[in-house]
Amino acid sequence: MLSLILVCSVVLILQEAIKIVRKQPIEVVMLDVLTEIRAIIILVLLLLYALLIPFFGFIVTSMLFALAMLGFFRVKRWWYYLIVALSALLIGLLFQVVLNVRLP
């Protein structure tokens, strides 16, 4: 399986190389730096969320994460913060009480 991935990758690289040599139009992936930075920030938030669960417990971390997310989106309406914090609590309880999952 790994060798198949390798072979295909080589073919793909060769294909592009031929295109470059022949000066055919090649597909260029444009990355918007701002979008990527935002994606990385979200990823960091997600990582923090995953790493902090054992320390603060699921529900508290979820609420913190939800608030941080809204802060990241620069949401100004205060009731949005209330809604997500409450839903974090609700989801936690749903899993714990209804589905009998022992959340950390």
Q: Is residue 70 within 8 Å of 84, Cβ to Cβ?
A: yes
The distance of closest approach from Cβ of residue 99 to other proteins in the complex, given in angstroms and rounded to an integer, is 6
Site for other proteins in 27-86 (CB under 8 A): 27, 29, 31, 34-35, 38-39, 41-43, 46-47, 49-50, 53-54, 58, 62, 65-66, 69-70, 73, 75, 80, 83-84
CA 79 to chain centre: 24
Q: In the numeric block, which tokens belong to residue 69?
A: 């997310």
Taking the C-alpha atoms of residue 12 and residue 18, their distance in angstroms, rounded to an integer, is 10
Site for other proteins in 6-25 (CB under 8 A): 8-9, 11-12, 15
